[in-house]
Structure 1
């Protein structure tokens, strides 16, 4: 990594601390990013000079400034599909009594960019602590497997992945995982049964929005949905929703 790239990486790591601690002190920032206080202070002063960070002289704590919202708005405007998907995902979540997630692949993880949960009247499961911005291990999530299956070289991708045993049922054997990804690509949908969390199953498919690929997945209570029931009852609803989202994106309207 070059000096400039390392500096950028450190600066971004400092900004991410504010996602965990809204008003961190210099000590808290230093501890979180594992850098000296002097190094952190240099980055913070640059962020202050650029208008992205403020400093309270009384409390000695830092806060993000409104200017940082411009970056957020720019990111959202480039991700139009999550905004289009909201109503479609709500209907799907209510139909199955579960939760629906839309995600992007980043390395070994899937970043959740949209989420909908079934209403209290139709909900059949206690949802996992997943929200927009959450990062899930790609190898054991339906979204992740679907997206990895689109890789030009699945074997190489899986060989280089970080694989964690999330539950007793997580598939961690790289050869078997690569085989599952290849089968996923052929059939056009992915399925995990308690790989990410005990009591949860999920089925996923692909949504293509121009050059960007998203994973769309439905999570349900395992005791209510067998593998057969997921494929028979949920997959058609999921596939239809994905098709509608792709058409909506092509025509530029939800």
Structure 2
């Protein structure tokens, strides 16, 4: 950072937001000094704001004295109309899907060029799953992400395909290959992955539609797809249709397995 005096005339609200903005996906736990440097604020000012945010629940101070984002911010985030509405509506259908598959079940939406996980039910099988509620992962190597990317605006697809980072040896990093896969997803109504995000984990995912708009995705994570592909797609599709109907949308076209 250039300095730590803060912008002249900066409001208290702006400084508070700067403290919160110091945290991101690669900076999840920060010392007070690190927050001050990243927020471009004096340490005493940062200390005062951090204490107030901690008291309110926006920050949590760990035993090692590092600060992390507090639960209250996540609770507030869930009040956003698209997230709170879909999460609440989808909850019973996620339970039904879990009961039908005993697999890890995801509900996710697109946030820019990332997939944001709104809910997760952990399956019984021992499958490595890196997603958590509130976490963000790349679109191109997750089942729910591929569904959302397939139905994203052209500009988002171009941006996402300009940065296809390999997460495992099986991640698709060739734009042409991924583009063909996205067209297939739109045609067949579901997406699959095979150890593209995490070794030992495969997935299927389907879109949730409100009318003609894809607003979210449902995914199921299993050790392998094999002969269960058709039944997993069918179960996920039934759940997605239920969510879509409850949201007031139409029924998506049937999947072709």
Query: Separation in 1 of the partners of 2:228 and 2:70?
Result: 49
Q: Is 1:41 paired with 2:49? A: no
Match in the other structure for 1:216 = 218
Query: Separation in 1 of the partners of 2:59 and 2:106?
Result: 34
Deviation at 1:243, TM superposition (A): 0.4
Query: Separation in 1 of the partners of 2:179 and 2:17?
Result: 31
- String of CA shifts for 1:117-168, please: whole Å, max 9, x gaps: 23xxxx22334132101111110001111011113427634444x2211111
Deviation at 1:82, TM superposition (A): 0.9
Deviation at 1:96, TM superposition (A): 1.9
Deviation at 1:40, TM superposition (A): 8.9
Kept after mapping to 2: 8 A contact 1:103/1:111: yes
C-alpha change, 1:179 and 1:55, in structure 2 (3 Å) is: closer
Match in the other structure for 1:188 = 189
Match in the other structure for 2:96 = 91
Deviates more, 1:208-217 or 1:136-145: 208-217
Query: Separation in 2 of the partners of 1:69 and 1:105?
Result: 17
Mark the runs of 5 or more structure 2 residues left unpaired by the alignment.
1-6, 250-257
Tell me the C-alpha RMSD between the 2 structures. Answer: 4.0
Q: Is 1:13 paired with 2:18? A: no
Kept after mapping to 2: 8 A contact 1:194/1:200: yes
C-alpha change, 1:95 and 1:69, in structure 2 (3 Å) is: closer
Mark the runs of 5 or more structure 1 residues left unpaired by the alignment.
none
Q: Is 1:229 paired with 2:228? A: yes
Q: Is 1:82 paired with 2:115? A: no
Query: Separation in 1 of the partners of 2:70 and 2:228?
Result: 49
SS at match of 2:209: strand
Kept after mapping to 2: 8 A contact 1:90/1:117: no
Query: Separation in 1 of the partners of 2:198 and 2:59?
Result: 40
Match in the other structure for 1:134 = 135
Match in the other structure for 1:27 = 33
Kept after mapping to 1: 8 A contact 2:19/2:39: no
Q: Is 1:242 paired with 2:240? A: yes
The alignment's TM-score, normalised by the length of structure 1, stands at 0.73
C-alpha change, 1:249 and 1:128, in structure 2 (3 Å) is: same
Kept after mapping to 1: 8 A contact 2:50/2:59: no
Kept after mapping to 1: 8 A contact 2:113/2:159: no
SS at match of 2:80: helix
Match in the other structure for 2:107 = 102
SS at match of 2:145: helix
C-alpha change, 1:13 and 1:156, in structure 2 (3 Å) is: same
- String of CA shifts for 1:28-50, please: whole Å, max 9, x gaps: 4246xx3545289369649959x
Kept after mapping to 1: 8 A contact 2:143/2:193: yes
Deviation at 1:249, TM superposition (A): 1.9
How many pairs does the alignment contain? 231
Structure with the bigger percentage of helix: 1
Note the 1:196-207 alignment, pairs <5 A: 196-207=197-208
